[in-house]
Amino acid sequence: MAKGILSYGVYIPRFRIRLEEIARVWGDGEEISEGLRVLEKSVPDLDEDTVTIAVEAARNAIDRCSADPKRIGAIYAGSESHPYAVKPTATIVGQAVCSSSSFTAADFEFACKAGTAALQACLGMVGSGLIDLGLAIGADVSQGAPGDMLEYTAAAGGAAYLIGSQDLAAEIEDTYSFTTDTPDFWRREGMPYPEHGGRFTGEPAYFKHVTGAARGLMKRLGTVPEDYDYAVFHQPNGKFPLRVSRMLGFSKTQIEPGLIVPLIGNTYSASCLIGLAATLDVARPGERIFVTSFGSGAGSDAFSIRVTDRIDEIRCRAPSVRDYIGGGEYLDYAMYARHKGKLRV
């Protein structure tokens, strides 16, 4: 039985802050933006959080395929910035988008890959026949401590995917994960901002896991980079996905459509799911997409996806990723600090 994506939806807040504005405040050089290959990042509005972003993305996903929300049997919400430590995000989303109570729900957390973990869980539920449709969400209003390197990229955004077995816009051919206990980035209970291992987040964390999962999946499927029209990798900055695609043998052309981090920053659990959405926004029927997420702690989920004829029918029924980029309102650091709740009174 083929399983995959019926529909997808994204949401990115309209506020932006330029990296040079953050660098101005902290006295860092302008070259920081060039080094990270990120120009600006999205910032949530005063009343936006992971829940509101997840709801917006979920509504866009449902609107795009006109599916009856009553068919949704599972909602899994992945985030590292759930507004409650105890009290699910997924139930709030469910109440907002479903008109039934007949669904299971849970929140996922796995740093930046909670969204793809939720997607895999939905695939399992659909594949086993336990549910008809599953809603997998990755959404974050990620945190970076003032002055920390993370502050330059920690952004806000969400993506939602309706997973099922009929009327697929894209079939998920296979998925493969690579997971180890690698403490490259963490936030302990009660702490407002995450900590990280500096350069340790690169080679032994991001690159090892992304290449581990990607190579594992291609080996199992007997595919090579040339078999794919597009590739999407987790985008903590603009540099890492470029480098990892080179390491794996993918070209710049393959990753270009999904590489949105320079204009919105790292949306954490939504990062590679928004990248996939941007790719689905332009992909033609029959084309193949290779996706690999990364979550600190650490693990990667790789997916091999084939776009179907239905993509052309549903594509324009909801806002594209590009619809959320451009025309944003720029904040200075003071307003940004207020939006992010960095000022405590």
Residues at the interface with another protein (CB under 8 A): 29, 31, 197-200, 203-204
Q: Name the residue among 205, 283, 217, 282 with its Cα closest to residue 244.
A: 205
> Quick one: 186 or 330, whose CB is closer to another protein?
186
CA–CA distance, 200 with 183 (Å, rounded to integer): 9
CA–CA distance, 155 with 19 (Å, rounded to integer): 11
Which of 56, 65, 82, 112 is flagged as catalytic? 112
Q: Are 9 and 61 in contact (CB under 8 A)?
A: yes
> Quick one: 204 or 225, whose CB is closer to another protein?
204
CA–CA distance, 148 with 56 (Å, rounded to integer): 29
Q: Are 285 and 229 in contact (CB under 8 A)?
A: no
CA–CA distance, 231 with 56 (Å, rounded to integer): 26
CA–CA distance, 246 with 253 (Å, rounded to integer): 11
CA–CA distance, 233 with 294 (Å, rounded to integer): 8
CA–CA distance, 91 with 64 (Å, rounded to integer): 22
> Quick one: 11 or 152, whose CB is closer to another protein?
152
* 327-to-22, 123, 182, 322 alpha-carbon distances in Å: 20, 36, 39, 11
- Taking every pair of C-alpha atoms in the chain, what is the biggest distance, in angstroms? 57
The dihedrals phi and psi of 209, each to the nearest 5 degrees, come to: -80, -40
Is 287 designated active site? no
> Quick one: 84 or 200, whose CB is closer to another protein?
200
Please list the residues that pair with 9 across neighbouring strands. Answer: 160
> Quick one: 26 or 200, whose CB is closer to another protein?
200
CA–CA distance, 245 with 191 (Å, rounded to integer): 34
Is 234 designated active site? yes
Is 112 designated active site? yes
Tell me if residue 297 falls in helix, strand or coil. strand
> Quick one: 199 or 322, whose CB is closer to another protein?
199
Which of 234, 272, 287, 339 is flagged as catalytic? 234
Catalytic residues: 80, 112, 234
